[in-house]
């Protein structure tokens, strides 16, 4: 699915890096670094080497104050703000984890997980991606364990397995668990629909997405995935119908144009 597949990449900004096989997710960050041969200290020094003299002096001062302070929360906030302004999501996540330590709440976990996912996308180093992926799994596992009745957290953990590891089936099982508990859960059903398309199970994808779209008639994502499933199952008439509905939901003009152009391509095929 040429141009519409590209649209998905642009519109939803999904993970495009090959997955990493990760089975262990309960070790500490330091244990993970040691196991995979990753040096946090080297990473930090390398990040500092790109700073201006002014920024470097300020960050070194804040780090020095950490060693002398009993109440570190404000210093962590300042370090988080500095690395955020620099654009290093990995170090932002590191200091967020240090700040809440063993007293992380559900919101802390989800914030840290989201920042780590940004760090994963930013990293160009395979070894570092391995570390970050392991940490994403660990953070969302801890969050889910702390709030076992939260289907949103289970879905985040499932998404992490699907997007950042080769353990896709672990993610699928968690998603199915969510939909058994909450039949119309938007994110879980959408992801299961997408995975069905990826695995060539177009009828399953169509059945699931048709059912869930009645609960979320304004979800662009559901309708675009549904259109993809119809197109890949060679039902071009339904694909066009679904895409036309989707186009009316899209506000961004460039993405809407991509959809409209693809509709024209499908109509040309129908009329040929």
Q: What is the pLDDT of residues 25-77, one digit of tens each?
A: 334 444 555 555 788 999 999 999 999 999 999 999 999 999 898 889 999 99
Contact 214, 183 (CB under 8 A): no
In this prediction, residue 19 has a pLDDT band, given cuts at 50, 70 and 90, of: very low
At 45 the pLDDT is: 95
Topology of domain 1-15+183-272 in CATH is 1.25.40
Q: What is the pLDDT of residues 202-238, one digit of tens each?
A: 999 999 999 999 999 999 999 999 999 999 999 999 9
d(CA 36, CA 46): 18
At 15 the pLDDT is: 42
Domain regions of the chain by residue span: 1-15+183-272
At 3 the pLDDT is: 42
- Complete DSSP assignment for the chain: -HHHHHHHHHHH----SPPB------S-HHHHHHHHT--HHHHHHHHHTTS-HHHHHHHHHHHHHHHH-S--HHHHHHHHHHHHHHT-HHHHHHHHHHHHGGG--HHHHHHHHHHHHHHHHH---HHHHHHHHHHHHHHHHHHHHHSTT-HHHHHHHHHHHHHHBS-HHHHHHHHHHHHHHSTT-HHHHHHHHHHHHHTT-HHHHHHHHHHHHTT-TT-HHHHHHHHHHHHHTT-HHHHHHHHHHHHTT---HHHHHHHHHHHHHHHHHHH-
Min mean pLDDT across 32-41, 84-93, 199-208, 242-251 is at 32-41
Q: What is the pLDDT of residues 102-157, one digit of tens each?
A: 778 888 999 999 999 999 999 999 999 999 999 999 999 999 998 899 999 999 99
């Amino acid at each position: 699915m040429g141009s519409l597949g590209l649209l998905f990449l642009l519109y939803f900004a999904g993970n495009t890096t090959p997955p990493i096989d990760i089975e262990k997710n309960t070790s500490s960050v330091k244990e993970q670094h040691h196991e995979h041969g990753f040096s946090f200290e080297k990473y930090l020094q390398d990040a500092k080497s790109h700073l201006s003299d002014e920024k470097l002096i300020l960050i070194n001062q804040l780090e020095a104050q950490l060693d002398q302070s009993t109440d570190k929360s404000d210093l962590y906030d300042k370090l988080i703000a500095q690395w955020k302004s620099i654009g290093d999501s990995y170090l932002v996540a590191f200091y967020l984890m240090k700040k809440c330590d063993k007293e992380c709440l559900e919101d802390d976990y989800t914030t840290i997980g989201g920042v780590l996912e940004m760090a994963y996308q930013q990293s160009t180093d395979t070894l570092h991606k391995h570390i970050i992926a392991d940490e994403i799994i660990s953070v969302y596992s801890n969050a889910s364990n702390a709030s076992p009745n939260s289907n949103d957290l289970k879905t985040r953990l499932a998404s992490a397995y699907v997007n950042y590891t080769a353990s896709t089936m672990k993610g699928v099982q968690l998603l199915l668990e969510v939909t058994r508990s909450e039949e119309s859960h938007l994110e879980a059903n959408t992801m299961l629909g997408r995975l069905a398309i990826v695995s060539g199970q177009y009828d399953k994808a169509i059945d699931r997405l048709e059912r869930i779209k009645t609960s979320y008639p304004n979800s662009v994502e559901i309708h675009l995935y549904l259109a993809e499933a119809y197109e890949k199952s060679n039902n071009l008439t339904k694909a066009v119908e679904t895409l036309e509905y989707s186009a009316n939901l899209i506000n961004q003009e460039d993405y809407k144009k991509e959809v409209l152009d693809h509709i024209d391509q499908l109509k040309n095929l129908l009329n040929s």
